[in-house]
Amino acid sequence: MSKKIQSALISVFYKDGLDKIAKLLHENEVTIYSTGGTQTFLEELGIPVIAVEDLTSYPSIFGGRVKTLHPKVFGGILHRRENADDVKTAAEYEIPAIDLVIVDLYPFEETVASGASEDDIIEKIDIGGIALIRGAAKNYNDVLIVSSRTQYDDVFEILSAKNCGTDLDDRKQYAGKAFGTSSHYDSAIHAYFAGIEDGENFRAGQTKNLRYGENPHQSGTFYGNLDAMFTQIHGKELSYNNLMDVDACVRLIEEFDELTYVIVKHNNACGVASAATSKQAYLNALSCDPVSAFGGVIITNTNVDAATAEELHKLFFEILIAPSFDADALDILQKKRDRRLLIKKEVKTSKKQFRSLLNGVLEQDKDLSTEKTADFKVVTKIAPTDAQNKALEFALKICKHLKSNNVVLAKDGQMLACGVGQTSRVDALKQAIDKAKEFGFDLKGGVMASEAFFPFPDCVEIAGNVGINAVIQPGGSIKDQLSIDYCDEHGITMVMTGIRHFLH
């Protein structure tokens, strides 16, 4: 059912982007009711406004806590235009119909995140706004609700195309968005009072429909605000699989303070290297497995310069993520139309992880434990040298972020190879050794890291036979001593951390 908007209530915290909708409403002779700062904003645009106080005959009271909570406002929104009794009651009490409600909410989450005082946080709990949103959404048969500034552009296009009118499908769609807004807002407030970690209310936040899910026959949606984490400066939209790899990249690169490049394929690192320059770090990471790097996702924690961009441009990759790019580097990298280039922002992410399975959802703390040399327990007669400790730290950072069972072989700030996602740790190690040999790496003097314990001494034996002379693992097997004995007999140093890093 198509309805032309004849009256609107506009009361928003954020004014940016509101002007073009307001001007369109004015051009179509829509009566506008407003309050406070929004009223001033509209009047400065030359748009006549009826103050809500004049409609209700009540001023804004209690420091602005009560402005719109009045029967003439909510009656105008909630009365059913097709219900004779509702229409009669509205006429009897001189309640005007309100066909459009544009309302956003006080920035509660932003205020909490800013570290504001509890008094300031409490004052940012919106009461009237949330009630207006729910009331207008409930009566979507007659009213269009716009509950976020992110909707302004789309709503403007709808109203422009339909002569300032809306269809029932439009109104129902935006009612659904409005209830999502209110759900997310209330859950954020609940989380504050309950001391709950952010992240569990993801479905009620911003959404982005993806072209498809993991495969073309699966639909996909991203719940969250990607723009808060990245600025995309080139290329196509990110896909479901892209986002999975981007997440793997971000989690791994955040382990490193030194200049590092990471290359990921199917959620696992196929190249990692730290070096003194951007170009050398990238080339070292690429040499780990140049075959798997084809079509991969690359991330670095340093600025991308032209010299590095020249090397990167030789490879087909899906995405490059960096904190910044030199202008001449962008000139090179943007020659490929679909290549995605992202600038990573510094943003706080949730410390929780969620996974849907069976008929419910699993929740756990993220694995934020990263063991350093001071945490290592030397269990062999030979202790690691400073260089070996540094290499063991490097390898452990990587294996923490690979699918179990995994083994990482490394040397001098470079991953030489890894074996990932194997049902046997021996198979993971053999896979890594075969990879290293395929790409010409000498494993002598290298180190081995495992995310979980060795149940038998076979892995240290196999590693020792190809020249590995330092090993790191959590320990915890009832047969740990067998692995320790083998290392002692063959001049291999081993440290244990006591921390397992399974990843499934």
Residues designated as active site: 138, 266
Element of type H or E holding 158: helix 152-161
Helix (H, G, I), strand (E, B) or coil at 255: coil
C-beta neighbour count of 499 within 10 angstroms: 16
Cα angle value 405/400/357 (rounded, 5°): 65
C-alpha distances out from residue 125 to 63, 110, 122, 131, 440, Å: 14, 11, 5, 12, 62
Q: Which long-range contacts (CB under 8 A, 24 or more apart) does 224-231 make?
A: 228/345, 228/347, 229/344, 229/345, 229/347, 229/349, 230/321, 230/342, 230/343, 230/344, 230/345, 231/342, 231/343, 231/345
C-alpha distances out from residue 367 to 201, 229, 351, 453, Å: 20, 20, 9, 17
Q: Read out DSSP for 116-146?
A: --HHHHHHT--SHHHHHHHHHHHTTTT-EEE
Instruction: Give dist(CA 223, CA 208) in Å, integer.
Output: 6
Element of type H or E holding 471: strand 470-473
User: Among candidates 102, 125, 121, 101, which has minimal Cα distance to 185?
Assistant: 125
Q: Are strands 207-209 and 319-322 parallel, antiparallel or unpaired?
A: unpaired
Q: What is the DSSP letter of 61?
A: B
| Unique residue bearing structure tokens 């999502």 | 180
Helices (H), 368-424: 386-399
Q: How many residues does the chain have?
A: 504
User: Among candidates 146, 151, 143, 164, which has minimal Cα distance to 17?
Assistant: 151
Position 323: which residue type? P
